Structure formats: structure tokens, C-alpha cells
Amino acid sequence: MSIYSRIAGTGSYLPEKVLSNHDLEKMVETSDQWIQERTGIKKRHIAEAGQTTCDLAEQAAARALKAAGKTAQEIDLIVVATTTPDKIFPSTACLLQQRLGNHGCAAFDIQAVCTGFVYAMGVADKFIKTGAARTALVVGAETLSRILDWNDRGTCILFGDGAGAVVLEAADKPGILSTHLHADGAYEELLHVPGGISRGFDMEADGADPHFMQMKGNEVFKMAVNTLGRIVDETLAANGMKKSDIDWLVPHQANIRIIKATARKLSMDMDNVVVTIGEHGNTSAASVPLALDTAVKDGRIKRGETLLLEAFGGGFTWGSVLLNY
């Protein structure tokens, strides 16, 4: 008998501190109107001093476990997608495992920036389908505020902190139908943090601080729209499905214009697209599970419906998950 993986429960968490567009008007040369028109973002949540990625992940994980009716001891795989880990090592997944009181199961991080959660779902799905795990905790968690230059209006208006999680369990009927993961490192410098452990943190020739994110926004926007269009075609073709077979699009929350372009590709009404970017901005690996949990909790997404999750991020990385919820 074939083994499949299905979502047993979802959870999410946002830090209490809120930074609105009006707050940003006092920090950099921008305006609430400009930010909303260009991005769709109204506010973002920012981790408090001392509040770590693992802190956010723990809250989201606990809520997902509760929704799934599972204990931490039942988890036999933990995958955390993050680009802002608490420490160089151990992994944030190991730190989360300790917090949850789980001992012995495999636990590791995945780094694919904004596509991280989609990558993590793809990996966990393979573990369950091969019988290597039966119950997986998959988390996307970020404290991107730690790598933002708050004087750079091109990036600081876009990003926020948060965490989302799902519990996947083995099932005899398909939950996840397919996952599609891609990357192309040729576009490294369009969206990156220049510094690193092995290359060091020397100042860039142009005086830019290598600790902070750098982005060429227009180029990233164009690549994202084109690439996400292709991943939609690839996912539908792989499953022999039509656009009309998709009930919900749960996209990475990067920019409302990118989300609308992907919806047009699917010939999908925006009423069937989960949009949460206005409330928390771009939370990188946390954005897809945050959006998913929001729509599950408010009753929009119901059991038996077909969902397309997709994301695009630095690397460049991109991918999708097609599933029956």
C-alpha cells in the first residue's frame, strides 16, 4: 500500500510589536500610500530585543501540534526553514526540539530563504512517503528584522518577523500530491546578504554593510513574476490538472502585484487567493505557513479542497506544493 503525507494541523505566531507604515514614515523617506500602492503592506510585526527565531517557532509549533491533536513525543522528524537562525550551530530545529521536550528524532534546518517552507514540505513529504518518518513537524520561522538596514527604504519597508508550522502525518490517501523545487545561483547578487561565516564581514567597496540584506527590487520583481508563472504550469502539468481544479492559491507574501500576477496565470479570482501581506509584510520562510494557518483558522480553507502553495526567494530559489487539504 502506498504511503502519503497529509496536513494534520497548522499553527502560526506573530510577535506582539507592530511597526506600521506611519511608523516608517518617521524613520525613512517613504509614505503609507506609496508602500501600500507598491507592495500592499500596511504593517509588519517585529521581534522584541532578545526574542529569537526559535522563540517564534516554538509558539507556532505548539499551536500546530494542538490543532493536530499530537504530542511532541509523537514527532519523529523536525524540519525548520529559516535564514535567520538563533546560532551558527546547533540548528534552530535542534533548539526547537529541546524546547518541545522531544529526544532522538532527526532535526535539521533548511535554508532556501523565502522558498524555505516549500522546500521543507518537499523534504518532509519524501521522508513520510519512504517510511522514514510518520509524523513530521515542519516550521518556517524568521527574524528578518535582524538583517535589515533600517536606513534602506528599499528593503526595510518590506519585511517582518513571524513563524508558521504544520504537522504532517502518514496517510493512506494523498494529501500532498506533488512538490516542485528549483534553484539558480546565477542570480545570487540580486537578493543577498553579502557577509558570511567563511568570507567574513568586511565592508563592501561601495560602503555597504555586509551584515544587511541587499536587493535590486525591479530585477527581483520581474524574475519572480515570470518564474512563478512557470511553476504554476509545471505543477498543473505534472498532475494532469486544469487551472479550475485549484480551490485556493496560498502564495508567498512578498508583493501584492506578484500575487495578483500569479492569480491571473491561474485565471483565479482574488477571492480564492489567501492574502495576508497587508498584516505582516514579507516574513520569508514564515509567510506561506502564516497565510495557510490564517485561512484554515478563519474557515476559508476546508478539508477536501485543493491548494497550491508557491514561493520565490533569494538564491534564486522557487517551488510549489500541490495538496488536498
Helices (H), the chain: 21-25, 32-39, 53-68, 92-100, 116-129, 153-156, 217-239, 256-265, 277-280, 287-297
Return the C-alpha torsion angle 230, 236, 240, 246, nearest 10.
Answer: -160
Query: In the structure grid, which three cell numbers stand for residue 97, read together?
Result: 526540539
Cα distances from 98 to residues 90, 101, 135, 256, 285, in angstroms, run 11, 5, 17, 37, 21
Give the helix/strand (H/E) hosting 80.
strand 77-81
> How far apart, in whole angstroms, are the C-alpha atoms of residue 98 and residue 287?
24
Residues 6 or more apart in contact with residue 320 via CB below 8 angstroms: 118, 179, 180, 231, 232, 234, 235, 308, 309, 310, 311
Of the CA atoms within 13 Å of residue 306, those in its CB half-sphere come to: 14
Catalytic residue annotation: 114, 252, 282
Cα 300 to Cα 71: distance, rounded to the nearest angstrom: 26
CA distance 166 to 294: 12
What is the C-alpha to C-alpha distance for residues 319 and 228, in angstroms, rounded to an integer? 8
Q: Could you give the CA distance from residue 317 to residue 181 in angstroms, rounded to a whole number?
A: 8
Instruction: Select from 273, 280, 225 the least CA-distant residue to 251.
Output: 273
Angle at CA of residue 300, ends 295 and 301, nearest 5°: 75
